[in-house]
Structure 1
Amino acid sequence: MARMISPGQITKIHSLLSKLDMMEEKRDLVRQFSAGRCTSTKSLLFSEADQMIKALLDQTGEQPSSDGGYERMVKKMLYYGYEMGFDKPRHADQHGMKASKINFQNVDAWCRSNKSKFGKPLNDMDFDEMRITLGQFERMYKNQIESLAK
């Protein structure tokens, strides 16, 4: 099933349309980007909204943000992993590896496991999946800190 537009994308589209003084043309633009499927931004697919945002950004001359904070979330996951000992070898093939590589492999393995909501590789998650997964990982980290404090 195709993923629907995110609330952040709706906000960005409306903001760009206002900035370009194109709110009156919104329905026609949505129809164009959805190949005639809809006229409301709320009905756009994630990919259609992404294309529309890129086109509107081109018109404003703005550059799209490189990752919208995604990279920061990955770094936070890896930091929590390091703090929880994910940088220690867990398999024979990890002995002799750099701690950073071990940490990444172990955090990625956790993301792929059934402990993670999506069970996807760390680098294959979209922004919303990463945000939710980071929340799970952060709770696990906080629980570990609390249990150590007892």
Structure 2
Amino acid sequence: MARRRELGSIASGIIGSFNSRNNDIDGYWGIGKIYNLVVTRESKTVSIDLKNKAISPTSNEFDAMLTFYHNMLTCLLEKHDIPLEWVTSVNISVEFEATYEDKYHYWRSALGNPCKLQCEILDDNGRIHNAYAYNNCRPHDPSRENQSSRAGNL
């Protein structure tokens, strides 16, 4: 029997995959490419609505990624026998140039600025199920990065 508390595990799975280096967009790390959306903006936060497949600030460059994670959400809900009606919203937020936190960001463990990711699932009872991930990243720069051999095969 499905339980709403399993939505926390689903949020954790989604944010873990989203933060992963295997989250490719055209063969480059997705987080770095998303960083480019806000590099010149005052606000360094990107919001992604997985249920409606939308990203803010808007960009068509991420349509395939949005579809992939929307499908992942649907698949995970089906595996846990959780009806889609139980899920009111699923949002991923990525805060670039976040405040450094000793507990989560290991100084000099990776290049770039601290980055904080959150997956928030709101259920039909009004309960929020959160999962977080932390990383360091810098904006996408093809002259400094190697393109994955998976590019075009996803």
TM-score range, shorter chain: under 0.3
Question: Which structure carries more strand by proportion?
Answer: 2
**Structure 2 length normalisation: TM-score?**
0.27
**Structure 1 length normalisation: TM-score?**
0.27
Q: Which has the larger radius of gyration?
A: 1
